[in-house]
Structure 1
Amino acid sequence: MKKSSILLIITLLLFTSCASKKYKNVTYLNETDEKTEQPTLNIFTPKSSKHTNNQVIIFVHGGNWNSGDKKTYNFIGRNFAKKGITTVIAGYTLSPEANYDDMAKEITKAVTWTKEHISEYKGDPNEIFLTGHSAGGHLIALIGTNPKYLEDKSIIKGIILNDAAGLDMKHYLEENPPTNKNEYLATWSNNPEEWKDASPIYFVDEKTPKMMIYLGSKTYNSIKVGNARFLNELNKYQPNVEPIILNKKHAPMVIQYIIPWSKRYKEILEFMKSKS
């Protein structure tokens, strides 16, 4: 990367940080375990006093369920906050210390914590949206569909999937049985019933929150296949949903959010406004 490009990115990040206030490593779990580091949230609010009772977006990062860190994505929090959105960047326990079910339960608790406490951070508890990239997209889709997680799905106003992985994990693992590679046995087990339980596609219904879907045209084939299968099922209940196809590979699908004026922000804010 050219030195001028690096300086531009640093300038952008410094500029956007001035327009928001950050609350770092906020605890959202009730459990206490001295032997285990508990996941936390980073919360970003608009600094301007005129921004109160904002719409809220919760971002869940990817990383193949065994890597990633919420602090890497603080730029998303800053950029949304600059646009008047109270933003939560959620951390969660990774594989092999946790499996998909543990992760989904933690993200569920992050959502319910946000519902109960976000008014303390200029957020409207009745205007909560979820977004996630890759594995994060899987987790938010799972808790928004599988009824074992959220008792009341209506607390989620909408879901924005960004090159989401794992939407039909059962189909993928039937063709690619899990091994210890990438901690997949720890994440998914070797039980096909668990694979189905982990797959949002099998739980889509009329109560599924309204969705917006981004997909990279150069992403992994498994993500293309999973999204196509999922969309076919989703369209039975949300026939107007069409994926926004971008000419990008998998990682650039989230890296693009570094740019504060990325068109993605405008599109997502329009979606959020339409569902409020």
Structure 2
Amino acid sequence: MRRFLLLGPVAVLLAAVVVILATEFAMARPSHRTKNVAYVAISAPDFDKERHVLDVYSPKKPASAAAGYPVVLFIHGGSWTSGNKNIYTFIGRRLAKQGVVAVIINYRLAPPVHVPEQAADCARALAWTVANISRYGGDPARVFVMGHSAGGGLAALLATDDALLARNGLPQNPVRGAIMDDPAGLDMYSYLKEMRYEGDAQYKVPFCNDPAVWKEMSAIYKIRPGIPPFLFYLGGETYPSISGSSGRFRDRLNAIGQPASYNIIPGRHHIPMVLQLYWQHNVIYQGLLKFVGA
């Protein structure tokens, strides 16, 4: 009897694995993944063969519009010190299945680089996307940026910092909109000045000790009329620093007459805000598809 009791949990686990594998197979069939495409010239002196690469997920079905599918460039989180595009294949697959070309990027991590270099990497990935995405069925005139956690802060910089883009091959900002999934780093200037929470000193590793850098890398100070629209999704149980800075960001958008769609998902903590994107019909995808016109 004891032997059969032990087999019960094993059988449940195996069944769960089978369901997950079957789901991934079903998601993979309608899409094509192109892996490890370099978005920085291999001859560049700072080229990093592991971090200066991206994956493209394209719908296999040709787009009905001649221009191609809308494009979402996704930037992973990880406190600016960790993370990898290979963790987020489920986002690429699910976007492609629903009529979006997804670009999932790596960027250099701290240390040894800092957030300004990471933002430059993201800008270079965006420049590559605009120049090349038509080869993968995407419309370069409909490129959106998305990020979770630290990736949300970097995505917000791409949407608001035209000077950053100009320094990295984009004289005009091509971003049509920004999707924020529980974003961190929107106002690191205030955050690092206040140092309200235990462990806050760790964020000086990626952001340095210079308050001028904190402010320059905080998208909230770059809000102005004419920036692309924003779509926010926040966990109802996320960190106070994220909900606070996101709320101030929303208020500044309202003040310039450019209100953002601002959605709070009850009961969700920070990490589940990205994990829920495993489910194709998640509320975030529902809003995202409308936002990008898929």
Structure 2 residue runs without a partner (length 5+): 1-8
Shift in alpha-carbon separation, 1:58–1:200, aligned structure 2, 3 A: same
Q: TM-score, normalised by structure 1?
A: 0.92
Shift in alpha-carbon separation, 1:259–1:204, aligned structure 2, 3 A: same
CA distance in 2, matches of 1:167, 1:50: 35
Matched-pair identity in %: 35
Q: Tell me, yes or no, if the aligned pair for 2:63 and 2:137 is still in contact at 8 Å.
A: no
Report deviation, 1:245: 0.3
Q: Which has the larger radius of gyration?
A: 2
Count of residues in Structure 1 that have an aligned counterpart in Structure 2: 274
Verify: 1:24 aligned to 2:35, yes or no.
yes
Report deviation, 1:39: 1.9
CA distance in 2, matches of 1:109, 1:35: 13
**Match of residue 22 from structure 2:** 11
Deviations 1:45-92 (A, max 9, x none): 011235661111100000110011101001111111111111100110
CA distance in 2, matches of 1:93, 1:143: 16
**Match of residue 74 from structure 1:** 89
**Match of residue 233 from structure 1:** 252
**Match of residue 133 from structure 1:** 148
Select 1:158's aligned residue among 171, 177, 180: 177
Matches within 5 A, 1:147-186: 147-151=162-166, 152=171, 154-176=173-195, 183-186=202-205
Q: TM-score, normalised by structure 2?
A: 0.86
Cα RMSD for the two superposed structures:
2.3
CA distance in 2, matches of 1:170, 1:34: 29
Shift in alpha-carbon separation, 1:23–1:32, aligned structure 2, 3 A: farther
Structure 1 residue runs without a partner (length 5+): none
CA distance in 2, matches of 1:189, 1:109: 22
Verify: 1:244 aligned to 2:263, yes or no.
yes
Matches within 5 A, 1:1-276: 3=13, 4-30=15-41, 31-33=44-46, 37-50=50-63, 53-151=68-166, 152=171, 154-176=173-195, 183-247=202-266, 248-273=268-293
What secondary structure does 1:148 align onto? Answer: helix
Shift in alpha-carbon separation, 1:21–1:32, aligned structure 2, 3 A: farther
Report deviation, 1:37: 4.1
CA distance in 1, matches of 2:46, 2:214: 28
Shift in alpha-carbon separation, 1:228–1:35, aligned structure 2, 3 A: closer
Q: Tell me, yes or no, if the aligned pair for 1:216 and 1:246 is still in contact at 8 Å.
A: yes
CA distance in 2, matches of 1:242, 1:190: 34
